[in-house]
Structure 1
C-alpha cells in the first residue's frame, strides 16, 4: 500500500477526509494526520510517505512552501492541494511546484478520489509496476519494444515465447518462472510461456469445473508477433463451437470453406434467400468439417449484412468469437437458426408489424437489468417472448438507434465510471461492464474516446 500524509489545521476537514474516502479500496494507508508545516517536516524526517494532501494555508510553513521542500527531497512524491481559496494564483503556483492537483473546499470526494487514483498510477510507473492492461495495450498497438520492456519488468526476458489461450471459468495457475497469465475477457485467459503447457497441466485444467477448452501454438513466436499468436490461440480455443469434442486445439484450416462462403455471398447479394437456406442446410449436412470459428463468424455476418436484414445489421453483427458462441452455442445450431431468421425476416417484410409501448418498456427494463451480461437479441426475445427481429425493429422505432449501439453505450458509461472511481484492474472493469473480449473493448474504447482505458483513467 502507498502511504498518505494529510496536513490541515481544520479538525473537521481531517475527520471528513478519513471517513469519506475508502482508503483501503484504493490501496492506500493514511500514515498520519497533522495540522502544521512543522509537524509535516518532523514526520517525513523519520518516515517515508508516497502521497501528501496539503492545505494551502497552515500555521508556520504553508502548503506551497512545504510542496517545494518535499519535492526537492523526493521528486516522486505525489502532492494534492486542498484550499478554501479559489484564487488562480494559488492553483498556478501549485502546478509550478509539481503538484498533481488542486481541490477546493468544501471538498468533492469524487474529484479527490480521481486525483488519488492518478497519484497511484504515477507511483506505479515510477516503481516500474505494469498492469495486465498496459501489457495488452502495448500488444494491441504493435509496439514490440514496449511489450518487451513490460515483459522484462514482469520477469520475462526472452525475445520469443510460447502462447496459449484457455476458455472457461478458471485459469491455469503458473509459477513466475513458468510465464505470465493475462485476462483477455470474462472466462478467457492468455498465457505467455517460457515452455509449452505440459500435458498434465492441460489435463488438470480440463478436469476442473466448467473449463471448456485450450488453444495453443506448438512452436515459439516472436514477441513482435504476440498479438497475432494470441488471436490464433483464441480461435483454436473456440474450435469446439464447430467440433464439440475438440477441446484441445493447436491449429485449424478454413481453406475449404472459401468456395462455400463465396457461393453464399453471391446469393445474398442477389437476394436469392431460398438458395441461401438450401446452402445452409447443405453445409450442416455435409460440410461442417470445412469450417472453423473464424469462417463460421464470416458466414454469420455475410447473412446478416444482406438486404433482408438491412435495418438490423448492427444488431446481428458478430464482433467477437465468444459472442458467436454465446449467441448460438454450436455451429450446427447456428446454421438452423440462420435459416429460421431468414424465414422470419422475409415474413416481416411481407406483412405489417404492430409495436406496443408496453413491450418497449419491458424491453428497456430487461436491458437495464442485464446489459452487463451476455445479452443479445435472442436472449432478450426469449425472455420477453418476442422474436429477435421484432426486438430489433421495436427498439429502432422507439429510440432511433440500434439495440447493440445502445448496449455498447451503457457498457462504455459503466466502464468510464469504474475507471475514474475505483482502482480495479482495467481488464476486470471491462468484464464487469459487459465486454467479454478485452481487445474488442480496447478497440471500442479508443474509437469512442480517442484514448486507451489506462490513458483515460490517468487523465480523468
Structure 2
C-alpha cells in the first residue's frame, strides 16, 4: 500500500476526501490528515507518504510554498493539488514542481480515481526500477567481492544494502539444462539471494541462517519443475563481504572434488568423502575388476555391490578424474555385456539395447549415483541370464574350483553352497563341461601343479599346494593326466626352455 496525506484547511473537505473512494482497493491508504502547511511539514518529517493531496490556498503558508519546501527534501513524492475555480490559474504555477494533477472543488470521484490509477502505475514502475537498479548494483559489487577486487568503501556500501549478518556461497552444477537462462530464473525466484555465474558454474550468495545446511526450497522447486538434475556445494559462512572471495575458492575446490562425496545433493567441508566411506583395498585394481567380472558371471549378487565401491575407491586413490572413472566403468561393463552376448546368443539383441543405457553414466553427478546405477545395471543383466540358471550354477562351480583347488574340495561341499542335490549337480556339471566333477578338479590341480614345478618347488611341496596330502597320490594323478612323472615334466620343460634360448 502507498501512503497518502491530505492537507486542507476545510474540515469538510478533509473528511470528504477520506471517505470519497475505497482507497485500499486502488493500492493506497490514508495515514495522515493535516489542517495547514505547518502541521503537514511536521507529519511529513515523521512519516513520508508517497502521495500528498494539498489545498492550493490555505491560511499562513500556501499550498504552493508547502509543495516547494517538500520538493527540496523529496524529489520522488507525488502531489495532487486541490483548487477552487478562482485559484486554478494560480495553481498552474505548481507545474514547475512536477505535480501529478489538479482537482477542482468539489472533487469529482471519477476524476480522483483516474489520477490514483495513473499515480499507482507510475509508483509501481518506479518501485520496480529502483529495485532492479539496486539488485544490479548489488550483483556488480558481489562479482567484485568474489574476484577479491572490492574496495573497503564498496564493501561497506554492499553490507549496508543487504543487511546480512552471515554470507555463504552455493555453487551449482546443472545437468541437461536445455539452454535455459537459469541465472535470470533464479533472480526471479530467489528474492533473498544474489545469483551469479563464474567459471562456468551457476552460484548464489545467500544469507546463512542458523546452522542448517540446506538447499533453498525455491531453488529445488525451480530446477525440479524443469526436470533439471543438479549437484551443489556450500561454503562456510563468513561475516564480512571481503571474505566472499575466500568462500568462493572453498566452494570451487569442493565442486572440483564433489563427485567423490557421498551426499547426493549438497556438499560441505564436513561431508563424507569416498576415502572415509570405503576401506582401502589391499587388492590391486586389476584383481578387483577380475573379481567383479567373475561375480557377475556366477551370479554372486552379494559381492557385486561392495566390489563396485572398492573399484571406484581404488580408481579415486589413483587420482582418476570423474570422467576417467566413468570411461573405465563403461569399458568394463561393455566388455561384460559383449562376453555374455557371445555366451547367450539368444539374448544378443537385448544385450545390445543394454549397451545404449551405458551412455547415461555421463550424466551421473556423484559417486553414489554411479555405484547405484552400475548395481542396478548388473542386476538387470543377471536377471536376463537368470533364465539359464543351470549355466550360472556351473560357472559358479568352476569359479569355486579355480579358487579352492588347493583345499579338500568335494562335490558334496559345493552342492551345499549352490543348494543342489549332489547327484543332480554332478550330472549338470558333466553336461555343461563334458567332464566329471572330480576329473575337472584333477585337471585344474595338474595345470597349477605344472606352474609350481616350473617355479622350482619340490614334488611334495607341489602336492600340498594343489590339494593332495599324499605326494605319491599326486605323483600317480600327474602321470595319469600329463603322461609323465612330475620330475620328468620339469626336466623336459627346462630342456625345452633351454633349447629355445639356444635358438634365440
Using the size of structure 2 for normalisation, the TM-score is 0.32
Structure number with higher helix proportion: 2
Query: Normalising by structure 1, what TM-score?
Result: 0.34
Query: Which gives a bigger RCO, structure 1 or 2 (Cα 8 Å, sep 6+)?
Result: 1
Bigger Cα Rg? 2
